[in-house]
């Protein structure tokens, strides 16, 4: 779901995260997969007498070594009393469901209802940000790679993915009891298992959404990355549309449902309320 190049408006384009895939597809100092270097590519220099007799400065330079893949960092955790919930915090039931595959893991997740903050973004002015505060605990017994994906979808048909706005983190953190919060990029890493009795080792984060449609009267937030569960939906071999013949992979996802009261001209976070029930595990 490590710092990366930022655009002029202070945000990190999502595509920059894909750069990490290049390292994952690279050997230890070798060529990327799909671009093999043949065995004789460099041996030719040694076999060519003309090159052997040439001055060293005339020799063809060796290609620079590619960087080694960087392993995912282990996220710093904060101890919290097991089962303790603060004001307005909602704990999600992480029990495996009958439709889930055997052997999947599920992280424990606590969140607060969406709140709103106006942030001054350099070069872009004041922006109204919807944010979701959350806490994650790993009780699976093994370290788990956490790469969360947060998407807010309104009843007006608009979708907003979690964005990186560095200026927003300290403002929200100061409001939320000062607990260190990780954003869309810095939250990616290994969560160590909680093994102590009565104490959980938690990671705290915040998902940010900007320019949410003010006309929306309800919205849903989808959270992927809390589990390795998935389902494969077979394609229809008789479909007339080629896309209909392809398999579809859906991932175990937490969906949180909200209603927004009031009008589009004066938006108040107190008018954003959880629905009943507030959340559901789905495959999305």
- Quote the CA–CA distance of 111 and 94 in Å, as a whole number: 13
Query: Which helix or strand (DSSP H or E) is residue 154 part of?
Result: strand 149-154
Tokens describing residue 271:
């008018």
The residues facing 129 across adjacent strands are 117, 210
Encode the chain (284 residues) as per-residue pLDDT tens digits.
444 444 444 454 443 444 443 334 334 344 434 434 344 433 444 444 444 444 555 555 666 776 777 789 999 999 999 999 999 999 999 999 999 999 999 999 999 999 999 999 999 899 999 999 999 999 999 999 999 999 999 999 999 999 999 999 999 999 999 999 999 999 999 999 999 999 999 999 999 999 999 999 999 999 999 999 999 999 888 888 888 888 999 999 999 999 999 888 889 999 999 999 999 999 99
Query: Which helix or strand (DSSP H or E) is residue 49 part of?
Result: helix 49-53
Tokens describing residue 127:
């922006």
Looking only at the bridges linking them, the beta strands covering 248-260 and 115-121 are: unpaired
Tokens describing residue 259:
């209603």
């Amino acid at each position: 779901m490590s710092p990366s190049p930022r655009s002029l408006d202070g945000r990190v384009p999502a595509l920059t995260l894909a750069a990490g895939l290049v390292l994952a597809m690279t050997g230890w100092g070798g060529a990327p997969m799909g671009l093999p270097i043949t065995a004789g590519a460099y041996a030719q220099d040694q076999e060519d007498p003309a090159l052997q007799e040439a001055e060293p400065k005339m020799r063809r330079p060796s290609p620079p070594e590619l960087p080694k893949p960087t392993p995912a960092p282990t996220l710093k955790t904060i101890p919290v009393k097991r089962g303790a919930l603060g004001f307005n915090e909602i704990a999600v039931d992480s029990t495996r469901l009958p439709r889930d595959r055997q052997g999947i893991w599920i992280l424990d997740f606590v969140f607060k209802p969406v709140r709103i903050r106006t942030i001054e973004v350099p070069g872009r002015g004041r922006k109204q940000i919807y944010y979701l505060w959350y806490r994650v605990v790993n009780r699976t017994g093994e370290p788990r790679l956490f790469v969360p994906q947060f998407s807010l979808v309104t009843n007006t048909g608009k979708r907003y993915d979690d964005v990186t706005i560095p200026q927003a983190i300290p403002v929200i953190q100061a409001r939320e009891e000062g607990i260190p919060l990780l954003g869309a990029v810095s939250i990616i890493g290994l969560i160590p298992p909680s093994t102590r009795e009565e104490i959980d080792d938690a990671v705290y984060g915040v998902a940010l959404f900007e320019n949410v449609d003010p006309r929306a009267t309800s919205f849903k937030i989808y959270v992927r990355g809390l589990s390795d569960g998935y389902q494969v939906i077979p394609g229809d071999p008789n479909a007339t549309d080629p896309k209909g013949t392809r398999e579809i992979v859906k991932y175990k996802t937490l969906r949180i449902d909200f209603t927004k009261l009031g009008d589009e001209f004066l938006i108040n976070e107190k008018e954003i309320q959880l629905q009943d029930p507030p959340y559901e595990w789905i495959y999305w």
